[in-house]
Structure 1
């Protein structure tokens, strides 16, 4: 007959089955601590991811834009500073009227990589795909006072760029098919360092396809969008990057007023998370210490039959580990569900819970539980067999007790 080997895990599981009521409070404390701590972390990560996604949708993924760059793409790539690079060509400006004082907007195109970096998005329709097609930002249509819908044919007056800040004196009449209405992008890309009078540094609010032909004799401006291969200091950028450039930085681009609102909230979340972590740790310490105190006789009997202090700590530590492994995954799963529902109700984006973050939360939760249980486990290991077996509390009470004699009979009744 095969005998099952008695291991620490088997002993811990048997103890958990036999002491369900005693371990319920400890398991509840571990579950709630992991739930609230993970929920706060997931909520913060999800809100941060939502803000980053909004920034990238508005500004793009590029780190730097070289304005009217004279260097070729090959020369920039040879420096090793960029891992992705796209080109934006600015052909000139277009107007809805040939009058000299008519409003104009920049007209150009993105190549495939530049479009992948900047994320120009259509509110209606689609992006231009063939020559003679055009897509306009909604704000550009408003400035041009162009009353047209997707699919309409529009006549525009094109002023080709003949050099830096030099446009053709007479416009060229062009007819386009309006294929899409775009979300705001050009004004977001034009951020600082450059004055509004430098027209050749502007970004196009009217987009053509890559098949659009360049006007003969014109000299389009060429902006390069760079995604850096590594972070650069300002001195390195001034040394490596020639000419004018825009620097796009997620931290710098945040609105100061928004930061004033967000930072106190993040600070409050951090304080609450640390408070919950400390309170849950103390709760686990007290609950585990109370459980070990109630089992002092069991500890004494184990010490009496030869169990060492290390074995005592390992046996009861295994119980704490099993509790953590049972409670933490369930708490993390429930926190994901709760945060997802909360974000959906508040319309604050979607849950951001990458596997690396969940695994880190699980490992950190188990580590915190084991650290909290280590304090009472060290005390339990120091108890001697005789001290654990005898009822110390009753012995101390008996020593303090005093016998008070009383008369139980009357002499005259004898």
Structure 2
């Protein structure tokens, strides 16, 4: 039977080609993901080990958060790392050198004033020259390191992007005024924040301390060990020498490297899991094609299998022979998929390092044995699982079927059982979907969507007849006999039509769901921005760090400003004592957002649900309805608060606000809580209204007022909407690209089904030709049949996608105010047109083959 299975595979290799391609593509996705993430993880770990190669012990100060990362320049509550601390550690036995490190954000502007880098990884640090005048962390490429406050060094990629050369003047900003500094040199760095698209600006140590902390203060001390020194022993000595304080932490370089390795491993696992989800979708689509192909092969070989039964083959042997064929197909396709996956990994890395400018670290290609085994095992297993039902069906062919070459039709009992199972799954899925949407439970929506998809897939043979019948009048009217024949062929074998269409349905369902959710989110953001925000412009840091407090005074002086308000987050501790079942002195953390009480209603829509609209001007709090329900704040509640400066006071809840995306959950008057904020704390943003509304003159005046700081963004309503839409578009494009593999596999399924159907119906096609249907009519018949199957899959996919998206949108109601399900008609029509085009293109080769069949040879065929 093994030899028989091998001969069958070789005899039907043409008909199995599309199946092999489907398995190969799915396996290639799996292998490519594993190879890429393994390669990237190994390269990042190698780079990480180099970063800590010369560090034996690191001491960090958790309170020394550089300006731009947090509020900056704040007074330390515990001991600090100073030059005296550094000198003390240098004298320890086994310590060869101690390097003081300062870091924070630093925005570099190009010649047009635009920010270089992604805004989140614009890094600033201090350049610490050794005895030879260079910093071993940052090897010089050209020039020298900075030596005073008027100088700076940049990483080579940033200098290249900005078109800077040694000696040029560079515009640099932290969160205050823009500085004009001389470029003294370019550096090489392995910092992953920089290699991932950020930038590095190196200052001399005194300047970095002034910008990020305070004179003489370090955020970190890196201890280099003398040869032969044990890192653990040196760590113990360092801890003994440090002043006592919870904010000072000492670890070995090896420990830090291991922590980074764990973070890298976690990141690559998350990426791998994400990509594997799309690989699983591609393989799931492939299951339909494999099952359909083997079902058709079994049907076409009914007489052959019956003869085997007649000459003594048992049912188990027949089943085993089909499984062996499937295993051979899976093994061959998996090996090809593994090789293709390696190519995908190389191409993905080239794409990220090329057009996408991700600058991933170099490293050898990693093809782990587990990757090889996983790719082959997945391909073979998926093929065997998909061929299981056709194999069982083959074993049930009776020996008497040797007298007939026709396919044995499915029994009514099996169809009734299938429809019953499909109906139960569909009802359960719809119920779970509705319950999840009502209760805003994402997991329940996901389970319901999965069950509903399974149920609809099982029911597709039942659905195919009425849905395809919708097109029958149009086909007869426009195409006549070929159109009528195409419709009859499409519904002749509903199982086959359903299996072919279901592969396309999966991709269309997911793409439609994503599109509808994206359109709904865009509409909600647009509506909330228009209704909630009255300010003409918002001024904030691009990297979501804090603005310098001086920015507010600069904006207030800008021409054309009629009203403005700062927003400053002030963390407080609230003691509600016995009111919430707590003991006296027990507190809870809360963030108060300080705003200008006199102008905030001119800058944002303030809708009062309970209490007074003048609460802020009366020195009271305004709380959003959501926060009020969550924390059980009521109008009139008096809250005992402890401010960041240690002082205590009481605040009264004066009103409850309706949800507003432009306002924070708890608003407080700046005049009341601002004086108690952390010294040097920054501003989250500034809301500005112009005398003449939103004009380019006002926007430019605000830019000028902030000194043209490349890190500071001035955004109007259109900018906010465009930014949100661009973010959604980027996510959708990435998802579309990842789902593209499943669509390609679905196309192969349509091609495969039509090609095998043509082979199966050779005699019928010959008879049609004999009674007068010309080659054009044959081609048209095959193309229209393929078109019907594709449109059927597209219609079911669009319907399911809209339903699933509706439930998903309902779960976002608490996060996005006023969100409703938006179905973009143009895009939905485009999806259906794309399905139609797929059907027509997939039928080109089968239709050509059908039209070229010789009439007499076709009639004689068995």
Residues 138 and 184, structure 1, Cα contact 8 Å, conserved in 2: no
- Cα distance in 1, alignment partners of residues 495 and 778 from structure 2: 21
Paired residue for 1:377? 847
Match of 1:107 among 597, 619, 624: 597
Deviations 1:349-373 (A, max 9, x none): 7654322222222111222122212
- Alpha-carbon contact 1:312-1:381 (below 8 Å) kept: yes
2:43 aligned with 1:43: no
Q: Which residue of 1 aligns with 2:785?
A: 319
Q: Larger % of helix: which?
A: 2
Quote how far apart the aligned CAs of 1:380 are.
1.6
Deviation at 1:343, TM superposition (A): 5.7
Post-superposition offset of 1:13: 3.3
Equivalence for 2:824: 354
> What is the aligned counterpart of 2:714 among 247, 264, 280?
247
Distance across 1 between alignment mates of 2:768 and 2:841: 24
Q: Counterparts of 2:622 and 2:851 in 1: how far apart (Å)?
A: 73
Give the 5 Å matches for 1:302-313. 302-313=768-779
Instruction: Report the Cα distance in structure 2 between the residues aligned to 1:382 and 1:299, rounded to whole angstroms.
Output: 10
- State yes or no: 1:223 paired with 2:689: yes
Aligned residue for 2:599, secondary structure, equals strand
RMSD of aligned residue pairs (Cα, Å): 5.6
Does the Cα contact within 8 Å between 1:26 and 1:288 map onto a contact in 2?
Answer: no
Q: Does residue 497 of structure 2 align to residue 26 of structure 1? A: yes
Equivalent pair of 1:125/1:179 in contact (CA under 8 Å) = yes
> Is residue 337 from structure 1 mapped to residue 827 from structure 2 by the alignment?
no
Q: Distance in 2 between matches of 1:228 and 1:385?
A: 75
Residues 135 and 35 of structure 1: CA distance in aligned 2, closer, same or farther (over 3 Å): farther
- SS of 1:107's partner is coil
Shift of 1:46: 1.4
SS in 1 for 2:853: coil
Higher relative contact order (CA 8 A, sep 6+): 1
Q: Which moved more, 1:349-358 or 1:285-294?
A: 349-358
The change in CA–CA distance for 1:297 and 1:352 in structure 2 (over 3 A counts) is: same
Shift of 1:247: 2.3
Change (3 A) 1:6 1:131: closer
CA drift of 1:250 comes to: 5.7
Query: 1:376 Cα deviation (Å)?
Result: 1.1
* Cα pair 2:766 2:859 within 8 Å, conserved: yes
Farther-moved stretch of structure 1 (58-67 vs 321-330): 58-67
**TM-fit CA distance, 1:326:** 3.9
Moved more, 275-284 or 35-44: 35-44
Task: Indicate how the Cα distance of structure 1 residues 6 and 331 shifts in structure 2: closer, same or farther if over 3 A, else same.
Answer: closer
Aligned length: 296
Distance apart, 1:197 and its partner CA: 8.6
Match of 1:99?
Answer: none
| Contact 2:782–2:846 under 8 Å retained in 1 | no
Deviation (angstroms), 1:12: 2.9
Shift of 1:291: 1.4
**What's the secondary structure of 1:108's corresponding residue?**
coil
Report which of the two structures shows the higher radius of gyration computed on alpha carbons.
Answer: 1
Secondary structure of 2:499's counterpart equals helix
Conservation of the 8 A alpha-carbon contact between 2:563 and 2:690: yes
TM-score by length of 1: 0.51
Aligned to 1:158: none
Take 1:62 and 1:265, find their aligned partners in 2: how far apart are those partners?
28
Secondary structure of the residue that 1:16 maps to in structure 2?
Answer: helix
The answer to whether the Cα contact below 8 Å between 1:64 and 1:246 also exists between their aligned partners in 2 is no
8 Å CA contact 1:39–1:336 kept in 2: the answer is no
Which residue number in structure 1 is paired with residue 739 of structure 2? 273
Please tell me whether residue 298 in structure 1 is matched to residue 783 in structure 2.
Answer: no
Q: What are the Cα deviations for residues 38-92 of structure 1, in whole angstroms up to 9, with x where unaligned?
A: 324423651685488469858959784474475559xxxxxxxxxxxxx64559x
Cα offset, 1:287, TM superposition: 0.8
| Counterparts in 2 of 1:275 and 1:60: CA distance versus 1, 3 Å | farther
The answer as to whether partners of 1:300 and 1:386 remain within 8 angstroms in 2 is: yes
User: How far is the alpha carbon of 1:109 from its aligned partner?
Assistant: 3.1
Report what 2:487 is aligned to.
16
Report if aligned partners of 1:304, 1:385 keep a CA contact under 8 Å in 2: yes
1:344 Cα offset (Å): 5.0
Partners of 2:837 and 2:510 lie apart in 1 by: 18
